[in-house]
Amino acid sequence: MSFTHLDASGAARMVDVTAKEVTAREATAAGRVLVTPEVVALLRGEGVPKGDAIAVARIAGIAGAKRTPDLVPLCHPIALHGVTVDLQVTDEAVEITATARTADRTGVEMEALTSVAVAGLTVIDMVKAVDPRASITDVRLLAKSGGKKGDWVR
């Protein structure tokens, strides 16, 4: 097995997807932002000083998915047909799940992962005045479907 983003000499390249079939594709990623009990209480109650952290992070996650090829150099710019970002406040974290969908020649795994990462960074930005130790953990792909390789589930 070799890396598809390297040519024969080992130089980075964008994979040519011209000959691939256009298929419906979907990917779901997840991650979490570890926060203090004080932040959890604020998120479940009156909110953090900057405003509605969950709503802002949801919108940031969607925007992040849309900007993936600007942030990850070898990602193809694809038409996203749907992005959902769900954030759930637990007793020690904000759990983030993002799903990206398209009908295109290449997958949306990086868009789902970028969505989670940007939503997580936004949570940190919103809560850092209360919890400067907040941290993003466990950003990972959960599942993908479509394309030549078909379905994959963690």
The predicted-structure confidence for 26-48, as pLDDT tens digits, reads as follows 999 999 999 999 999 999 988 77
Q: Does 11 fall in a domain?
A: no
Residue 91 counted as domain residue = yes
Residue 125 lies in a domain: yes
Binding-site positions for substrate read 74-76, 110-111
Domain count, the chain: 1
Catalytic residue among 16, 91, 104, 125: 125
13 domain-assigned:
no
Supply the pTM of this predicted model. 0.92
- Number of C-beta neighbours around residue 68 at 10 A: 24
Amino acid identity at 78: I
Whether 82 is covered by a domain: the verdict is: yes
Rounded to an integer, the average pLDDT of 97-115 is 96
80 domain-assigned: yes
Q: What's the token pair of residue 31?
A: 């991650």
Q: 128: Cβ–Cβ under 8 A, 6 or more apart, which residues?
A: 134
Q: Is 125 a catalytic residue?
A: yes
Give the range of the structural domain holding residue 135, as residue numbers without chain letter.
Answer: 33-145
Residue 7 falls inside a structural domain: no
pLDDT at 137 over 80: yes
Position 141 confidence tier, pLDDT thresholds 50, 70, 90: very high
Looking up residue 103, the CATH number of its domain turns out to be 3.30.70.640
Q: How far apart are CA 91 and CA 136, in angstroms?
A: 15
**Read out DSSP for 133-152?**
T-EEEEEEEEEEE-STT--E
1 pLDDT tier (thresholds 50, 70, 90): low
Q: Which residue ranges are tagged as binding site?
A: 74-76, 110-111
**58 and 84 Cβ atoms separated by less than 8 Å:** no
